[in-house]
Amino acid sequence: MLSRMIGFLLDNANPSIKLRVRSEILHDITPEEEAQYREQILREPIVQRIIACQQENGWLGDGFHGTSANAGQFENQETGTKYLAEKAVGKDTPVLRRAMEAFATVPLDDPCYRTRGRIFDEFRLAANGQNLIRCACISRAGYDDVIDISPQIELSLDSFKRVLEVDSILDISRPINRGRNLVFNDGERWPCRYHLDMLAHTQSWKSDENIKMIADSTMKLMRTDRPELIGLVPLSWVGYALGTLGAFPSQGFSIKTSTILPSPVANATRKPDLYNLEYIEWFAGCGVVPHVPALHEAVCEIADAVSNDGVCRIPVADDIFKGWGPYAGLRLEVDWRSKVRRDCDITFRALLILHYSNVVA
């Protein structure tokens, strides 16, 4: 099955996908072939837009965490670096290298971070802080061996571990506004999408014990036996209530896209339920799929959706692929104006999931 998927992608896909299949899965690419693919990738319009918006200090565009009046969808540091990394432009390609140098040299209270000079300390605020975003970008780009993010990797592990140490999120939060809202207590830990992103794209933390811990934590987050905890996500308190960076709920965590991003909580107003391949890919990268029944079931359904011609026909929510930003972004094809391009993007993500999950032959 995997060979059929690989054959389809090598015949039809974008240079980024072909390069990643050859380098990450087949491990059969030559330096000359890699250079040829990257030359094609760097000529693509979106990549050229990102290159053109790079400032003198290496910062991409005029924004950080998402779009703004001064920053387009891709012309900002977070989305730009993640897109370049996913497109496999190359770790030493000047645009990505200079963006990483900006992360290494621009202080966290610089206006580039768009926090009005405030530093939101990720060790004081559960599931929050601009440095958490920064470190997730660094890990996605493969620069964790150049820029030290080991304290944030440890924080990510501790955040998942905290789920198992407490009865529920109520133990580490407090009410405000006469009980209308909850906020995390100072100095607490709780996992969010940026912690998961960081762990999925690094290797130094991986041990059987840590993988099993993340699996156990994830299963506890997925439980639905206490209705008062389903979808319960406190805010951060920074002198006022501030939304977290996609903190996971105390219960009801979902790998379905029947959610309103960035919340990973099922929402009845959005149908149908479709798998969020981004989260499943990250969990596969963490090595936890064999230990979590819901993830194992999802991977088996993805495998069953692969046709005889190697195309994965699992239904997906288009915006999870096309909506590049802080809380989504999987499409590597230049557009989805043709069905084959859409098929290539979905099949590639399915291939990565099946390859890294190790549960489907």
Positions in the chain short of pLDDT 50: 260-261
Domain coordinates of the chain in residue numbers?
1-28+254-361, 149-250
Give CA–CA dist 214/208, Å, rounded: 10
Give CA–CA dist 217/47, Å, rounded: 37
Give CA–CA dist 293/60, Å, rounded: 40
Q: Indicate the pTM of the whole model.
A: 0.95
Give CA–CA dist 163/153, Å, rounded: 16
Residue 235 burial (10 A CB sphere; 0-12, 13-18, 19+): buried
Q: Give the per-residue pLDDT at 317.
A: 86
Length of the chain: 361
Q: Give the per-residue pLDDT at 209.
A: 99
Q: Give the per-residue pLDDT at 295.
A: 97
- Closest by Cα among 265, 287, 291, 292 to 276: 265
Which residue carries 């370049």 as its tokens? 84
3-class DSSP state for residue 236?
strand
Give CA–CA dist 260/323, Å, rounded: 13
Those residues whose C-beta lies under 8 Å from the C-beta of residue 157, and which sit 6 or more positions away, are 199, 205, 210, 213, 214
Amino acid at 89: V
Give CA–CA dist 167/172, Å, rounded: 10
Q: How far is CA 338 from CA 214, 283, 313, in A?
A: 39, 30, 15
Residues 47 and 63: beta-carbon distance below 8 Å: no
Which residue carries 């929402």 as its tokens? 267
Give CA–CA dist 76/67, Å, rounded: 7
Give CA–CA dist 355/361, Å, rounded: 9
Residues 123 and 157: beta-carbon distance below 8 Å: no
